[in-house]
Amino acid sequence: MITRRQSLKHLLAASTTMSLLPSFSLAQVTQSHYALTASLANHQLGPNDAPSTPCWLYNETSPGPLITAMKGDNLKVEFINHLPEPTTIHWHGIRIDNAMDGVAGVTQPPIPSGGSFTYSFTVKDSGSFWYHSHNKSWEQVARGLYGGLVVKDSPDELGSDDLFLIADDWRLDENFAIHEDSFGALHDAAHAGRFGNWLTINGKSQPDITVPSHRYLRLRLCNTANARPLHFAFSDWQTMQVVALDGALCQPFEVTNIRLAPAQRADLLIKINDRPLTLNEVSHPDGLVVARLIPEPSLNTAPPKVSLPLNPQPWYPLPQLDEARIIPIHMQGGAMGNLGGAMHGGRMHSLRELASEQGKIWAFNGIVGGPHERLAELSQGEVVVLRIWNDSRWEHAMHLHGHHFWVASREFGHSPRAVLRDTYLMAPDERADLIFIADNPGKWLFHCHMMEHHAAGMVGVIEVT
């Protein structure tokens, strides 16, 4: 596979040869009816002189088409599957009708090769969301099946000063092909998950992106990697103001860097002057250029869409907990963990048996999870506390379908910050309460969005009746 040194070399070469890309702005016509087709397609992930990469894509683009809708719209997406295997589409972060959630084997049968399905649902909340495959996600998402989705409050809300940037790390071989032999590797599942070696923004390596000058820019960042948290900062550590997390508006606060787990989104306000800004991934001491924002005065003709101050109102306030239902969830497993064995298929197995015979290595409450393992059955309207203990050596991006939850987040420093999220990054040995109102009936997945952890047992169903 491409080593980090080789990838840095190729990235630097790519940055000098790639032509200036058009703006990745959200200045586009909003629709309520879309058509998506999943198929095999080649895409230029590497530099211009590198071979193109065979991928699985929506409408032959990486990422898939950006979907924009108005809050309250009934969004209809006619989907056709031209892949060689079944698939579905999950609308991540949307508080959706259960039948449209797109989880194969839970909310719908997988859509076979050559088959079709029409997703139709009302978008209840404005914000930054995304969509992705939810059948064999650990492989299909890694092959490129994802795209962005933005729901806005007013028809003229979005403009050239509003960008949606999707970050992904791909695991490529020396020929820039996806490294297929490592799909399903138990080593990845037992450790941090499938980390890649090639970083892209909206399907491009180190793009130059034109933006209006002398105004605020709303930067919507989304991490679609299988497992790697991505840590972003500008080269001069310019201050960014966080105004929304996972689509939900929050009380604005300032940061100089932000770390996003897989599936998480953050909306950031950044002041653009007349000089380029370089966005870096800073989890490694050397750092890595992600993209450059190039001010372009000719884009200043339209009135600014982004202004301060914002007066955010949460979708719903933190609920009273006097009569809350508490659901304990003890997360165990993985390499160097303390899980000696767990229940699976109705009987107890040693961890060695689970790993070697079943490819399973994670458990909730001593039970290997799956799409039919029920964690709780709730009554509609109940206030619920998922009392999570990450009793493992690894981080986990815990995602709840169909709901947003309140959490005292420690993702932004040592002091907890109360925020609404749909995906929360839990540190090793962290204990956290995820608090929500079970107001959306149906069977909802709760799982780790490190895709390999999910596949190896870190998943269950919460049913609201």
Q: Could you give the CA distance from residue 37 to residue 53 in angstroms, rounded to a whole number?
A: 19
Q: pLDDT over 70 for what percent of the chain?
A: 90
Report the chain's mean pLDDT, rounded to a whole number.
91
Model confidence over 386-410: pLDDT tens digits?
A: 999 999 999 999 999 999 999 999 9
Q: Could you give the CA distance from residue 207 to residue 163 in angstroms, rounded to a whole number?
A: 13
Contact present, 287 and 9 (Cβ < 8 Å): no
Q: pLDDT at residue 23 above 70?
A: no
Strands (E), 207-334: 208-211, 215-223, 230-234, 240-245, 248-255, 257-260, 265-272, 277-281, 288-295, 325-333
How confident is the model at residue 299, as a pLDDT? 79
How confident is the model at residue 7, as a pLDDT? 46
- Greater model confidence, 408 or 19: 408
How confident is the model at residue 11, as a pLDDT? 38
Model confidence over 321-345: pLDDT tens digits?
A: 999 999 999 999 999 999 999 999 9
Of the ranges 18-32, 143-157, 252-266, which is most confident? 252-266
Q: Could you give the CA distance from residue 7 to residue 284 in angstroms, rounded to a whole number?
A: 14
How confident is the model at residue 30, as a pLDDT? 64
How confident is the model at residue 303, as a pLDDT? 65
Cβ atoms within 10 Å, residue 171: 20
Question: DSSP secondary structure string, 236-271?
Answer: T---EEEEEETTEEEEEEEESEEEE-TT-EEEEEEE
Model confidence over 407-447: pLDDT tens digits?
A: 999 999 889 999 999 999 999 999 999 999 999 999 999 99
Domains and CATH numbers, the chain: 4-301 (2.60.40.420), 325-464 (2.60.40.420)
How confident is the model at residue 155, as a pLDDT? 67
How confident is the model at residue 284, as a pLDDT? 82
How confident is the model at residue 339, as a pLDDT? 96
Q: pLDDT at residue 260 above 60?
A: yes
How confident is the model at residue 262, as a pLDDT? 98
Q: pLDDT at residue 14 above 60?
A: no
- For 106, 156, 308, 316, the CA distances from 427, given in Å and listed in that order, are 29, 40, 33, 26
Contact present, 207 and 21 (Cβ < 8 Å): yes
Mean pLDDT of 273-283: 94
Contact present, 83 and 104 (Cβ < 8 Å): no
Contact present, 88 and 102 (Cβ < 8 Å): yes
Model confidence over 136-189: pLDDT tens digits?
A: 999 999 999 999 999 988 766 666 688 999 999 999 999 999 999 999 999 999
Least confident of 40-49, 111-120, 190-199, 302-311: 302-311
- Residue 147, helix vs strand vs coil: strand
Q: pLDDT at residue 19 above 90?
A: no
Contact present, 211 and 163 (Cβ < 8 Å): yes
Question: DSSP secondary structure string, 78-125?
Answer: EEEE-SSS-B-EEEET----GGGS--BTTTBPPBPTT-EEEEEEE--S
Residue length, the chain? 465
* Predicted TM-score (pTM) of this structure: 0.93
- Greater model confidence, 297 or 50: 50
Q: pLDDT at residue 21 above 70?
A: no
